[in-house]
Chains A and B, each alone.
Chain A
Amino acid sequence: MRARIAVVEDNPDNRFLVQAILDDQYDIDEYETGIEALDGLPGSIPDLVLLDISLPEMDGTEVLARMKEMPGLDSIPVIALTAHAMAGDREKFLSLGFDDYLTKPIVDDSLLLQAIATQLEKSG
């Protein structure tokens, strides 16, 4: 059975790219905004969430914080996939509770795949 990955990303091109990279290995739920994600996730609990930070209305850090308060969602591994790649950003996001941090653009697919595999393995 394939693992289910939720991708929260407002940019359609980026959603499309992530789907292209992952869809031969994983089932994918796409959400355009954080609010949508928080609405939808309880109905379709994924094994992992790829969460963008810059989202309209509610940014990724807030979405993560909400998820941590929601039973059933609080233990799902969440990887920050963001274009915020300034020095210090990595440390900042990991400290906020993200399980991993990857930057956009995704220069090497394998790094993304490997990170996902690692998290899935970790969460069992």
Chain B
Amino acid sequence: MTAGPSSPSDSSQLELSQDANSEASWILEGERTPQRATVYWVLAAVLLLGGVLLRGFPEAQAEQLHFLTEVVATVLATLVGALALVRYYSKKETTFLFIGTGFLGTAFLDSYHLLVTSPLFETLMDPSRSQENLRAWSWIASRVFLSLFLFVSWLTWRQESARGTGRKVDERSVYITAALLTSVIFLFFTRAPLRPAIYPDAFVPRPAELIPALFFTVTLVGYFLKGAWRTDVFEHWLIVGLLVSALLHGAFAAFSSEPYDQAFSAAHLLKAVSYVAILVGLLASVFTTFRREESAFDLSRRANEALAREVAVRRQAERVLQESEERLQDFLDSANDLILMTQPDGTIEYVNRAWRRRLGYGETELSGRSFSEMVDPGSQPALEKAYEAAITGEAIAGLELYLRSSQEEEVIVRGSMNCRFEDGEPVSVRTMLRDVTEQKRAQQELAHSEANLSALVESTGDAIWSVGEDGSLITFNSAFALEVETLTGLEPRVGVNPLQLVPPDHQDLFRELYGRGLSGERFSQVWEVDLAGHGRAFELYFNPISGGARTVGVVVFSKDVTRRQRAEEALLAAKDEAELANQAKSQFLANMSHELRTPLNSVIGFANILLRKKDAMDPKEVSFLERILSNGKHLLELINEVLDLAKIEAGRMDVELEQVDLQEFLTETLGQMEGQIRGRPVQLVAQVPADLGTLETDPGKIKQVLINLVGNALKFTAEGSVTVEVEPDVEDSSLPQRIHIRDTGPGIPRDRLEAIFEAFQQADGSTARKYGGTGLGLSISRSLCHLLGYHVTVESELDVGSTFTINLNNRPGRGIVTALKETSGEADPKET
């Protein structure tokens, strides 16, 4: 048990320790019980043995020694008494009161004994009185007195310890008793006649010695049994003193047969020794007390210092704690997450800045309110459940709540909750939440968009699916599932290899197609597959999914084109057929033309040859030949025109457009027809405005039309003129708009105006006979004009003439091709 000054804060070290001074000698040690007991026994044995051995020695002259020992004893007794009283007053133990009083009284009695045994006293004393007796009895009195007081001291302790603590003994009465007792003894010795104390021949020469020996022994036993000698240094020395005292009487003094013999001297020496022992005990006790006080003072000083240090440390700790709390506060406030601490019943204890800001509350607004006030009604069950779980010690993660800000704004949060416990009791519930409103909205939007997309993808009967980088199926619509099931009987699932979803002999093809798609190529491919004997055709569109720099997958869109494919095939077949038919028709027409012409060659040719010699022939025969010739020619003309018409109507007539200068064109065309007016009173006139621009047209066809119409006009005009006039556009004089062919012929009856455009219809039945012609010219002209997008009309007045007009429908930007579209396929000459 050492007091460690290095750990002042440990309060247990503040206890007083007897062993604070580790230097203390064994004298001061209180824990040498076995040795002490041994000392007692050894001492007792030595003294007893010493007493027995001394008995055989003769008397010795030891008056000087006696005097000296008594002087020393008196001084020692005074010292012991004084010290014991000092000790008594410092510790207020009754034992010391009696010891102190006893020794002071003994000192008085010893000094008296010294006095009566000194040579000086012999001269003063009454010689009648026995000096020897007084000397012996004064010794005995002092010893009895001391032994009595020591006995009483033990007795008092016993009574006190039996009654409990409390000092009942009045010190003054003790002093008075002692004073009275000594005075009485003194007076007794001076006045009363004394009996002899020594009986030299008895076994015990001095039986009175047994009285103090008895008291000392009883006291010794008492104190020994008290047991304090084990720990108390004074009581140890007291026992030594008592032991010596008891034995100096019982073993030495009692056996001294005459004054100043060996036993007598030893007893006196031992008396001094016993006093010394008690003095040593007192001094040691005082010293120990001083050491104790000093030690206590030192300890208390140290304790004070420790306390001061502790206070400083605590202050420092408080400051550190406060700083740490501020830092923690700052840290919590700097968090973006919403942090909340409540009591187990949900009453808010703390919210961080993010919380207040996000939910729109002031710094102090929230304390004392309940967390659930800020939670949307829909989230209340989740909150309650979380609290219940948290309070039973569960750590909740992934808690999602809909909160309401002070402005009634919805805030969606997700986070964790747990509870702090103290001594097994829930103390506070900590909640850390992250604002996921935006994220959640984005998710919802994404979900909406996905739903839209899904609806979009599902809304089509066409199969749509996508394949990932690793070649596995990512998504597909129900049309895909249906197609796959129809084709293979399998049910597609996300993650499977899509190659397994096509018939085995098509897997290589699809491996290649997916490979192309995944390499970033965008393409389409028609895929034909046989399904239960029916050919199916799908158009597959491969669209790579771009994930930044690389392709992360491919979306395939499949369109069932079986029907379209078949329709196209049918159309192609029909077209081929039609083309074949057309070719056959053309071939037929060509052949027809060829075959009809060949026999006419002979008819016309030989008629011509015969007519070379008409001068030598009968005029009648000449006329026959001429009929053959003219009918042959007519037939040829008919053949030509019928074939032309057939060709137009069959749509076999191609239009070849050129820019035509009408002035030049008319001059050339009309020039070719001048033969028809040779020798006739008819003029052929062309009227073309000087600034006229070119006309985009098929010159061959417009020429045929003009030859037809002009030819007709010349044919029917016996005299007068045929005028071809080009009329420009009203707004743009460079734009040819109409071509008029005017004649001064007989005119056409009103009711025949339309009929003349029909095949084989002339103004009247006799016309053909009179004017010739096939009756197909106007029909062909109208058809050709239709082909070119033109329109032919006629105005006529009988006996004045007729005007045929070709309306060119010439509009800027209006090509003939457009007109062709409008008219092709219905080039019906009957239509006006």
Question: Residues on A close to B: CB < 8 A?
Answer: 11, 13-14, 17, 20-21, 54, 82-87, 103-109
Q: How far is the CA of A109 from the CA of B611 in the complex (A)?
A: 11
Chain A neighbourhood of B644, CB < 8 A: 87
Of the candidates A83, A85, A109, the one whose C-beta lies within 8 Å of that of B608 is A109
Which residues of chain B have C-beta atoms less than 8 A from A14's C-beta?
598, 601-602, 605
Complex: A30 Cα to B24 Cα, angstroms: 173
23 A-B residue pairs with CB within 8 Å: A11-B598, A13-B601, A14-B601, A14-B605, A17-B601, A17-B606, A17-B609, A20-B605, A21-B609, A83-B598, A83-B601, A84-B594, A85-B597, A86-B593, A87-B653, A87-B700, A104-B601, A105-B598, A105-B604, A105-B605, A105-B636, A107-B636, A109-B609
Separation of A54 and B592 alpha carbons in the complex (Å): 13
Q: Which residues of the partner chain A approach B601 to less than 8 Å between Cβ atoms?
A: 11, 13-14, 17, 83, 104-106
The chain B residue sitting closest to A20, CB to CB, is B609
B604 contact set on A, CB distance < 8 A: 105-107
CA A84 to CA B593, docked complex, whole Å:
7
Fill in one digit per residue for B574-600: 1 if any A CB lies within 8 Å of its CB, else 0: 000000000000000110011101111
Q: Quick one: CB contact mask for B602-642 with A, threshold 8 Å, 1 for yes?
A: 11111011000000000000000000000011001000100
Which residues on the B side are within 8 Å of A103 (C-beta)? 597
Chain A residues in 8 Å Cβ range of B640 = 85
By CB atoms of chain B within 10 A, which of A11, A13, A107 has the most? Answer: A107
Q: Is the CB of A83 within 8 A of B602?
A: no
Residues of A near B643 (CB, < 8 A) are: 86
**Residue ID in chain A nearest B639 by CB atoms:** A85
The residue on A at minimum CB distance from B601 is A105
Q: How many pairs, one residue from A and one from B, have CB atoms within 8 Å of each other in the complex?
A: 69
- From A13, A20, A21, A104, B597 is in contact (CB under 8 Å) with A104
B196-236 vs A: 1/0 string, CB under 8 Å? 00000000000000000000000000000000000000000
Q: Is the CB of B597 within 8 A of A17?
A: no
B633 contact set on A, CB distance < 8 A? 107
Cα(A21)–Cα(B608), bound, Å: 9
8 closest residue pairs by CB, A with B: A83-B597, A105-B601, A17-B605, A105-B600, A83-B594, A104-B601, A13-B602, A105-B604
How distant is A93 from chain B, measured CB to nearest CB, in Å? 13
Residues of chain B touching chain A, judged by Cβ–Cβ distance below 8 Å, are 589-590, 593-595, 597-606, 608-609, 632-633, 636, 640, 643-644, 647, 653, 700
Closest beta carbon of chain B to A28's beta carbon, Å: 15
- Could you say which residues of chain B place their CB within 8 Å of the CB of A54? 594
CB distance from A44 to the nearest CB of B (A): 25
The docked-state distance in angstroms from the alpha carbon of A105 to that of B599 is 8
Question: Which of B598, B599, B643 lies at the interface centre, i.e. has the most chain A CB atoms within 10 A of its CB?
Answer: B598
Closest to B604 in A: A105
**CA distance in complex: A103, B597 (Å):** 9
> A83–B590 Cα gap in the complex (Å)?
9
Minimal beta-carbon separation of A87 from chain B (angstroms):
7
Q: How far is the CB of A8 from chain B (nearest CB, A)?
A: 15
In the bound complex, residues from chain A placing their C-beta under 8 Å from that of B598 are 11, 14, 83, 104-105
Q: What 20 additional pairs, Cβ within 8 angstroms, besides A104-B600, A109-B609? A: A11-B598, A17-B605, A17-B609, A20-B609, A83-B593, A83-B595, A83-B598, A84-B590, A84-B594, A85-B597, A86-B593, A87-B644, A87-B653, A87-B700, A105-B598, A105-B604, A107-B608, A107-B636, A108-B608, A109-B605
B647-A86 in contact (CB<8A): yes
A103 nearest CB across to chain B (Å) = 7
In the complex the two chains form, is A106's CB within 8 Å of B605's CB?
Answer: yes
User: Considering the chains assembled together, what is the distance between the CA atoms of A86 and B652 in angstroms?
Assistant: 12
Chain B residues positioned under 8 Å from A106 (CB to CB)? 601, 604-605, 608
> For residue A21, which residues in chain B have a CB less than 8 angstroms away from its CB?
605, 609
Chain A hits for B605, CB < 8 A? 14, 17, 20-21, 105-106, 109
List of B residues within 8 angstroms of A85 by Cβ: 593, 597, 640
List B contacts of A108 (CB < 8 A). Answer: 608
Q: Which residues of A contact B599 (CB under 8 A)?
A: 13
Which chain B residues border A83 with CB–CB below 8 Å?
A: 593-595, 597-598, 601
Q: Is B602 a contact of A17 with CB atoms below 8 Å?
A: yes
Q: How far is the CA of A86 from the CA of B586 in the complex (A)?
A: 10
- Report how far A115 CA is from B311 CA in the complex, Å: 145
Nearest CB on A from B2, distance (A): 138
Tell me how far the C-beta of B610 lies from the nearest C-beta in chain A, rounded to whole angstroms.
Answer: 10
Q: How far is the CA of A71 from the CA of B253 in the complex (A)?
A: 194
| Given A14-B601, A105-B600, CB of A86 within 8 Å of CB of B590 | yes
Q: How far is the CA of A11 from the CA of B633 in the complex (A)?
A: 20
Closest residue of chain B to A112 (Cβ to Cβ) is B605
Chain A residues within 8 Å of B597, by CB: 83, 85, 103-105
Complex Cα spacing A87 to B703, Å: 13
Which B residues touch A82, using CB under 8 A? Answer: 594
Bound CA span A11–B632, Å:
19
- The residue in chain A whose Cβ has the minimal distance to the Cβ of B643 is A86
- Name the CB-closest residue of B to A104: B601
Q: With the chains together, A83 CA to B600 CA distance in Å? A: 10
Tell me the smallest distance from the CB of A82 to a CB of chain B, in Å.
8
Chain B residue with minimal CB distance to A107? B604
Q: Are A87 and B603 neighbours in the complex by a CB distance under 8 Å?
A: no
Minimum CB–CB distance from A108 to chain B (whole Å) comes to 8
With contacts A20-B609, A86-B589, A86-B647 known, is A105 near B594, CB below 8 A? no
In the bound complex, how far is the Cα of B606 from the Cα of A91, in angstroms?
A: 28
> Do B647 and A105 have beta carbons less than 8 Å apart?
no
Min CB distance B587 to A, Å, is 11
Chain B residue nearest to A54 (CB atoms) is: B594
> Which chain A residues border B653 with CB–CB below 8 Å?
87
CA distance A31 to B599 in the complex (A): 19
Query: Are B606's CB and A105's CB within 8 A?
Result: no
B608 to chain A, nearest CB (A): 6
User: Which A residues touch B632, using CB under 8 A?
Assistant: 105
A85 vs B597: C-alpha distance in the bound complex, in angstroms? 9
Which of A11, A20, A86, A107 has a CB less than 8 Å from the CB of B606? Answer: A20
What's the Cα separation between A108 and B604 when bound, in Å?
Answer: 9
The smallest C-beta distance from B633 to any residue of chain A, in angstroms, reads 6
Whole-angstrom distance between the Cβ of B487 and the nearest chain A Cβ: 54
